[in-house]
Amino acid sequence: MKSLKHLFGIADLDREQIEYLVNLGDSFIDINRRSLKKAPTLRGKTVINLFFENSTRTRTSFEIAGKRLSADVINISASTSATKKGESLLDTGQTLAAMQPHVLVIRHSISGTCEFLAEHLENTAIVNAGDGAHEHPTQILTDLLTLKQAWGTPEGKTITMVGDIAHSRVARSHLLAAKKLGYKMRIVAPRTLLPAEVERYGCEVYHDFDEALPGSDAVYMLRVQSERLTDSCAFPSIREYHEAYGLNSQRLKKAGDDCLVLHPGPMNRGVEIATDVADSVKSHILAQVEHGVAIRMAVLAALCGGDGGDDGKE
Ligand code: NCD
């Protein structure tokens, strides 16, 4: 398998690498469930989490993942970093890289931040924890681990993704993964929340949620990314959005008994998802959160050579 130097996006991974990371994540689930939650895999390695956007799940799970594997983990959020004093992103990146961490995990509102920094920083592996509306690779690997647990393989299954596709890095990364792994994506959104030429990803596009549900093996709900919405008229009101694009248990019946419900979080209950679905047995949303830790352990281990490979760095 091609070794990993950085993790920028699903676009850069081939099927073998995706399956390798999902399987490695699978093997780490157990460490996270034990009473002694520690393995020496990344002893002596340093991971810096640099978050310029809000995050609960992703930031915490990267921190826990590093600590489970005995890495030294440092967390920096934009509100406490020197960027608030006018330092450029590049200067912040070079400053942190000068402290010789093995991995820099970055979340930023600008697409391409990770690739940009990687061009300028030597000897530091960079992981994209979400860049603008571009990619969010570890979320997709997390979802694939959740689907592996439920189905064995996603191949041939149909995932119906609903909501703000235009501003969602989760949607974009899933559309790329679907092509590589052979699952089908149905996209459901109002025209105002659809990216231009979305069909080029090979997905089916619906504007009527109820029409898309029959034959769906999973329904994946997305939050409206209000922080990225420049047009406040994307839909008339929350009530109307919920009526047309919200998932409740009544609507879910149209998808058949075995349909799973997924959401990357944070959920906006009463907007894209009703409480009766979010808390139902069909919801795998908390399983996604748990698997997020295992996948981030896998990604850190693969980048630091703690997966049995060699990162070429002592
Ligand atoms: C997603 C993100 O940040 O892109 N959340 C996450 O990482 N779990 C989706 C979202 O913010 O709605």
HEC-encoded secondary structure of the chain:
CCCCCCECCHHHCCHHHHHHHHHHHHHHHHHHHCCCCCCCCCCCCEEEEEECCCCCHHHHHHHHHHHHCCCEEEEEEHHHCHHHHCCCHHHHHHHHHCCCCCEEEEEECCCCHHHHHHHHCCCCEEEEEEECCCECHHHHHHHHHHHHHHHCCCCCCEEEEECCCCCCHHHHHHHHHHHHHCCEEEEECCHHHCCCCHHHHCCEEECCHHHHCCCCCEEEECCCCHHHCCCCCCCCCHHHHHHHHCECHHHHHHHCCCCEEECCCCCCECCCECHHHHCCCCECHHHHHHHHHHHHHHHHHHHHCCCCCCCCCC
**3 within domain boundaries:** no
- 162 and 34 share a domain? no
173 C-beta closer than 6 A to ligand 1: no
What's the pLDDT tens digit per position in 273-291? 999 999 999 999 999 999 9
pLDDT at 103 > cutoff 70: yes
Domain that holds residue 29: 10-136+292-303
Residues 114 and 240 in one domain: no
Based on the fold, state whether residues 250 and 298 are members of the same structural domain.
no
Separation of CA 267 and ligand 1 centre (Å): 9
Of 109, 111, 170, the residue with max ligand 1 atoms within 8 A of its CB, to mutate for a pocket test, comes to 170
Whether 163 lines ligand 1, by a CB cut-off of 6 Å, is no
Give the atom of ligand 1 at the shortest distance from the alpha carbon of 264: 8
Phi then psi dihedrals of residue 131, to 5 deg: -125, 110
Weakest mean pLDDT among 99-103, 236-240, 254-258, 288-292:
236-240
Any domain includes 119: yes
For residue 266, whether the previous peptide bond is cis, meaning omega lies within 30 degrees of 0, is yes
Task: Take residue 196 and report the two structure tokens written for it.
Answer: 């231009």
pLDDT of residue 43: 97
Is there a single domain that holds both residue 162 and residue 116? no
Pair 208, 257 in one domain: yes
Mean pLDDT of 53-73: 97
| Same domain? 66 vs 146 | no
Instruction: Give a yes or no: residue 41 inside a domain.
Output: yes
Q: Are residues 261 and 274 in the same domain?
A: yes
- Is 240 domain-assigned? yes
β partners of residue 258: none
Judgement on whether residues 102 and 190 belong to the same structural domain of the protein: no
Inside any domain, residue 5: no
Residues 159 and 37 grouped into a single domain: no
The verdict on 124 and 255 lying in the same domain is: no
310 lies in a domain? no
Distance 168 CA to ligand 1 centre (A): 8
CA of 266 to the centre of ligand 1 (A): 7
**How many domains is the chain built from?**
2
Ligand 1 centroid – CA 174 distance (Å): 13
Domain-located, residue 27: yes
Do residues 102 and 212 share a domain? no
Mean pLDDT of 128-142: 98
In this predicted structure, the answer to whether residue 227 has a pLDDT above a threshold of 90 is no
Global pTM value? 0.96
Residues 142 and 274 in one domain: yes
What is the CATH classification number for the domain harbouring 230?
A: 3.40.50.1370
* Residue 288 CA, ligand 1 centroid: distance in Å: 12
Query: Does any ligand 1 atom lie closer than 6 A to the CB of residue 139?
Result: yes
